[in-house]
Structure 1
């Protein structure tokens, strides 16, 4: 973490500060929370607790009714501090911090006679690390609906920025693993190339494996083959369009897609601003054809980008 700009953090806080994130097993794994190192502190003591949910302005924690914190609350204590602890990929030690809070309510948890749900409100602005973790998670969830159809062609540069380790992967078709190559991905689906006959693959249920980096994890995404296409000059290969079962798309995958799309948008805006600034500068002139000219007025041409020699089909073997 620690890569978000102050502008991003301010945006996250403004947009998402009051949205509760339920700490499911998947969310805990995605944000790197260490549940065993979460505590609530009051009057010099601290006790383990479970974070049920959190926003950027408060949280709900679960504790036993025989816990010291519950006893303190019953005695009138309302000032507490919640200790968060996260895995830190850059260091061997966890990222930990306390958030000063105030108890605003206590109820029985899920009808259990032994557990209580303690609602707390943060009395200080949430730390930047918490804003970044929860903000990026919420943004990815929202963008997975808003930008679900934006497809990303998997060039070497896109692979690196996405944090996808390799194009070569496995697709499980009705439980049977088959080798394939990723061609593009989105929030809602993917396209792969594999050896096969289109007629026998249409409408089949699949699980697509994608190996992600930072953190390194292999995710399996459930979906269905909704379209097949021929591969030019390769009768033995078929391109498969896969539509994901969206409620089951792993959060880690959404985060990687969202980080890439957000980064690309920032790059495009920066390039657009630079271009406008260049056109507005007195030294920027254009010749009759629209080509940029140098100081002497002679038009100069930009070299076209080199063509990419990408022939992944040759690497598929059955």
Structure 2
């Protein structure tokens, strides 16, 4: 994970302050949120809760609908603290902190048969940098995956280290059949791989590209379609295959890995990023299909 400066964290806060992040299963996985360690603190007592969504200015949680909790919140003049806890891949202890806030409303949660309720919280101060960093990286990756989907990253030892990619050697599954391949380059929108055999019959076929990453250590299977092939100069037995990823099924963690590299090496667009990219060989040869 890239180390962010206080300036970058402030940019995240200013750019994404009002955007709500809903904690779907994928967002929980990508942020490494530890749901069992999340709680609402009020007048010294902690209540288990579920974070439904949060921004940098407030949160929406699910908590007990028992009158005891509501009464305690009223006793505290609606002042509460929300505890977040995130797993850090290379550390034993989680990253945990409280965010102070004020309860602004309650709403029933219909699917709980009256056992749970929504509680709306307005933060009373800027949240800790840890929360801004974790959510900011996710939000920035989502934005750039659309804006910069065609920027290629040529896989070298350095770029692989920055992306946290374990190896270029992997498998591509075409109509369920695994084939060994070597990944040549990656982008938000696609990839180019080298494989053995005739490739012209693969064009138009759905595929699945497997990529193994560190930080966190995981294998990601990315759905896509073979859109083009070309011969490999001097190797009649090999072909280069261009893959366009299915934009609806690109794992969030993949977007974050790609975005971290682009922001480290090329910077934001409009702030020197485009100028910097001209000297980066990994940006050359991008196609409209993202490969």
Q: What TM-score do you get using the length of structure 2 for normalisation?
A: 0.88
CA contact under 8 A between 1:47 and 1:68: conserved in structure 2? Answer: no
Partner-residue secondary structure (3-state), 2:266:
helix
Q: CA RMSD in A?
A: 2.1
- For 1:86 and 1:39, locate their aligned partners in 2 and report how far apart those are by CA, in whole Å: 13
CA contact under 8 A between 2:82 and 2:100: conserved in structure 1? Answer: yes
Deviation at 1:269?
5.2
Match of 1:209?
210
CA contact under 8 A between 1:212 and 1:218: conserved in structure 2? Answer: yes
- For 2:214 and 2:247, locate their aligned partners in 1 and report how far apart those are by CA, in whole Å: 22
Structure 1 segments (4+ residues) deviating >6 Å = none
Give the structure with higher Rg (CA): 1
- For 1:110 and 1:265, locate their aligned partners in 2 and report how far apart those are by CA, in whole Å: 47
Segments of structure 1 that go 5 or more residues without pairing to the other structure are 274-318
Segments of structure 2 that go 5 or more residues without pairing to the other structure are 277-291
Return the structure number with greater relative CO, CA threshold 8 A, min gap 6: 2
Match of 1:254?
255
CA contact under 8 A between 2:165 and 2:212: conserved in structure 1? Answer: yes
Q: Superposition pairs for residues 1-318 of structure 1, below 5 Å?
A: 3-66=3-66, 68-73=68-73, 77-112=77-112, 113-266=114-267
**CA 1:99–1:176: 2 relative to 1, 3 Å:** same
Residues 116-142 of structure 1, C-alpha deviations (whole Å, 9 max, x = no match):
111101111110000000011100000
Residues 225-254 of structure 1, C-alpha deviations (whole Å, 9 max, x = no match):
010111112122111100000121000000
Aligned residues: 272
Deviation at 1:110?
4.2
- For 2:176 and 2:72, locate their aligned partners in 1 and report how far apart those are by CA, in whole Å: 54
Q: What TM-score do you get using the length of structure 1 for normalisation?
A: 0.81
Deviation at 1:154?
0.6
CA contact under 8 A between 1:40 and 1:69: conserved in structure 2? Answer: no
